[in-house]
Amino acid sequence: MPGKNRPSTAASAAASTATETTTINDRVLLITRVFNAPPALVFKAWTQREHILQWLAPHGFTITQCDGDLRPGGRWHESMHSPDHGDLPVGGVYREIIPDERLVFTHAWEDEDARPKDETLVTVTFAEHGAGQTLMTFRQEFFQSVQSRDGHSGGWTECFERLAALLEKI
């Protein structure tokens, strides 16, 4: 029987799959999701390589490279491999890091010469939400088009499904 302060298994499963996507305007994507894990663990999943390798790509993709210098001004880089599109390099710069609470970084796909293109800004916050749960608020802004925003919405939603599954295991 679940403890008084711990949600039941059914409630936990429902909470960890509750995703809400909002489009504020053509250039902003807002996704909120409740995870069945405390903020410190969700933050670690966002910032530690061994966890990032397991979730930070859509379904069917693998991460072939993942490096980061977790400090304001530090660069991060990842390469995803898609069976249909090959390697897709992406990277950026960390702007703000408040452990267990907030990450702010730039996000840009790279061209074949490793130059960033169509840079956006990502802000992720982690807040306690009930016993042992986290409300994650993800905001990505400054998209060049609605098509880009909507494509990222689908990709991030799949990433967050993978993140929920990882958090249930760690």
Q: Return the percentage of the chain with pLDDT > 90, whole number.
A: 79
pLDDT tens digits for range 19-49 = 888 877 899 999 999 999 999 999 999 999 9
What average pLDDT score do residues 72-100 get? 96
User: Tell me, what's the pLDDT at 116?
Assistant: 87
Report pLDDT for 15.
44
Domains assigned to the chain:
17-60+97-169 (3.30.530.20)
The rounded distance, in Å, linking the Cα atoms of 82 and 60 is: 7
The average pLDDT across 96-109 equals 98
Phi, psi dihedral angles at 149 (to 5 degrees) = -60, -45
Give the span between the Cα atoms of 13 and 84, in whole angstroms.
Answer: 32
Structure tokens, 45: 């999943």
